[in-house]
Amino acid sequence: MKYALFATGLSALLVSHADADERGDKLLREFLTYQSKLKAFSCELDLSMEIESPFGPMNMDQKFSFAMQQPNKMALRGKGGGMMSVDMVSDGENMTTYLPMLSAYMVDTAPKSFAEMNEPDESDPMGGAGLPGLDSNFLMVTAEDIEKVLSAVESCEFVGEETVEDTKVLHLKITEKGEAGLPNMTTDLWLSNDGKWPFRLKPDMEGMMAMAEEEGGEGADMMEGMEMSVTLDLRDCKAEIKEDAFVFVAPEGARKVSDFSEAMGGMMEMDEPQEVG
């Protein structure tokens, strides 16, 4: 009798998981489809980062305004300064990145798409879109990339309906297939109650750090013995942008540099960043 009860319970559990995955898959596809149809999008971002390292704990919080317009206009603007503050503005032709800590900015050719913006670039000290989480495969997806994104998903579990900051949201746990022997990556994504807007995203920092250690390099040495947790909150999401959203005006005293590595080296050596005409 007890084995029959166990089998019945196990069967119900498997059915429950299957239902959760089926609803999760449906919610993710509908979310990506809705977002891909938006010509423009804006929101307020809050990035929280908790780090445990051999040197002790460190918590950082940075607020940003964010706007985008298809196919490749974007504006990420830091608020209130801080170690993680950065401005990144693409007007469709040029991508300007400004680092307040260095009082320096760099201008490069704008990527042709958001997918290209998020591609890893070893020469880019900010790493793609510049914020952990904002470079997620599940944000800023175009219609032609939806199937590519979904094909890389191992599973998408609907964790359930939750209340976060007095707001009802839908919680998805998305597992992406690891490539070339690398571990799977799990992203927690919370959506608005109607499933149309992103509300919160927690990237798999443990998986990313394991990947960095696997690939080796200077970054891997820095991450040894480190644990990191990142939460990206997206609020006031809407299909509207300001008229001058993608205009960059250099702050007073900011200097144009050819490469941020020069500016960073100059800061460490207490030298001035090299000016570019």
Residue-wise pLDDT tens for the chain (277 aa)? 544 444 344 443 334 445 668 999 999 999 999 999 999 999 999 999 998 888 888 899 999 999 999 889 999 999 988 788 999 999 999 999 999 999 999 999 999 888 787 665 544 434 444 577 787 889 888 899 999 999 999 999 999 999 999 999 999 999 999 877 778 899 999 999 999 999 999 998 877 776 666 665 555 566 667 788 999 999 999 999 999 999 999 999 999 999 877 767 655 444 454 555 5
User: What are the strands of the beta sheet with 56-69, ordered from one edge?
Assistant: 153-164, 167-176, 185-192, 198-202, 227-238, 40-53, 56-69, 73-79, 87-90, 94-99, 104-109, 255-256
- Report phi then psi at 32, rounded to 5: -60, -40
Q: Is the peptide bond before 71 cis (omega within 30 degrees of 0)?
A: yes
Give me the residues paired with residue 73 across strands. Answer: 69
- Give the closest residue to 199 by CA, choosing from 223, 152, 163, 245: 163
Domain boundaries, the chain: 38-268
Say what the pTM is. Answer: 0.81
**In CATH terms, is domain 38-268 a member of 3.30.2350.10?**
no
